[in-house]
Structure 1
Amino acid sequence: MNKFTPDEVIAATRLWLDKAVIGLNLCPFAKAVQIKQQIRYVVSEATSEEALLADLLHELQFLQKADAEEVETTLLIHPGVLTNFLDYNDFLEVADAAVGELDLEGELQVASFHPDYQFADSDADDIDNFSNRSPYPTLHLLRESSIEKAVEAFPDAANIYEHNIETLRALGHEGWKKLWV
């Protein structure tokens, strides 16, 4: 059983989105979909990888069929499974395979966020990792067409990663902690 209610999980995720992702401009595309209320927040009750995979398959199909004007993207938050980052990271291959299994490659993709996110070849406490650290393990389902439009509208999209690293390094661990006070 999860320690928090789905409403509390969504509230924490929204706060993270507001303060970190949008507030620090880690994703310049997030603000527009948030303002238009086109983000679908789904809290999975899964306690096993198999149950999470079933939820992921359902949400991929839902997003594919949904009108993009109503649901642009989905955050599938799963606080009860894959809380260990290495297990989560391994599951990302399963998530990518699910996209392929549903024949959605080129249409949808899965981005990853986790409380203990760690880029390859980085130390666990590197501030750079915080660009992908969320309150709970989260699979972010995105439309490829939306990414293409966003990149067209934001010509420096290839530099987002570098901008995020600069922002987080300037903020530092103390600045990150102050965001949540």
Structure 2
Amino acid sequence: MAQHHPSISDRHAAFIAAQPVFFVATATDQGRINLSPKGLDGTFRILAPNRVAWLNLTGSGNETAAHLARNDRITIMFCAFSGQPLILRLYGRARALHRREADWAEFAPLFPDYPAKRQIVVVEVDSVITSCGFGVPLMDFAGHRPTLPDWADAKGADGIRQYWRDKNLVSFDGLPTGLLDGEDEV
């Protein structure tokens, strides 16, 4: 049975910290709903009982940033693939923080210095809902994949910026992501 909570409790925080993967969902009023798995060690932080942030790494799309620029609603889901069954969802309002913004210096030190870091998503949590998770399969965690950090290391800073220009300036639905706004995008 689902339980509603006004904020992230210590028990919720411990559960979140133990999960190697989380899922992020965003949408605008038209186009695709985006649901993305997120991982890699150290990419999620609980800042306060009603505030979290996560490091958005470079990927094949940049849907979250494009969606949040138009509709700031977000859902983040954690589920137990081992141990006691549980699903925990954080509902709230978010913004994608870009490197050029003054707040970047406040949030960036909270995360590992992954070479693929693209944005930091800051979420004001409205509510927390937990549910049983009885239907979630049991799975063993083998480890984080090194593929993304290795790929970004090989590309280097200039290669990553070129990748952003080629692949991350608009969403799959053609919406601008704001990634390099105000910078030379050529």
Structure number with higher relative contact order (C-alpha < 8 Å, ≥ 6 residues apart):
2
Larger Rg: 2
Q: Which has the higher strand share?
A: 2
TM-score normalised by length of structure 1: 0.29
